[in-house]
Amino acid sequence: MTDNNTSHLAGEFLVAGELSRRGYAVSITFGNAKSVDIYATAGKSTICIDAKAGRGKSNWPVLKSSVKEEMYYIFVYLQRQNKIIDNEPPEYFITSGNKFLTKDLIKTWGTRQGVTYSSLNNEEYKERWDKLPPP
């Protein structure tokens, strides 16, 4: 059985690996009180990435007040255990902070806020690595 911390770390490493494969130089940050998960070079600048990962299709917890316009958000659906055994790859959903806020993707359920899998599972976000500045 996996826990949330393990899923989050897996997501960070998967995003960093995919970015590296695509030509970005990446650096992962570690710790519990960090504001950026991954730094990646894009041309002569550096982009900041917040990686969110989960094994279910329900939602990723995100507070609207914590979203930064200049950051990129990459959500990873890690797949359930039986899908991993069947060799199903993770799914990635990419958006920028400013689009994240203007599209009003964050929903509130009682005292919780987050982004649902169903709101990101479309051509605007799924596998949209082209939304990042080129390496």
Cβ atoms of 40 and 49 closer than 8 Å: yes
Query: How would residue 55 be classed by pLDDT, with cut points 50, 70 and 90?
Result: confident
Q: What's 85's DSSP letter?
A: H
- pTM of structure: 0.89
- DSSP 3-state of 109: strand
> Tokens representing 92?
């990635």
* Domain 4-131 CATH (choose: 3.30.830.10, 3.40.30.10, 3.40.50.2300, 3.40.1350.10): 3.40.1350.10
The lowest-confidence range among 2-6, 66-70, 84-88, 128-132 is 2-6
Q: Please determine, for residue 119, whether its predicted confidence score (pLDDT) is greater than 60.
A: yes
Q: Average of pLDDT values for 43-58? A: 89
Calculate the average pLDDT of the chain.
Answer: 87
Q: How far is residue 108's CA from residue 10's CA, in Å, rounded to a whole number?
A: 26
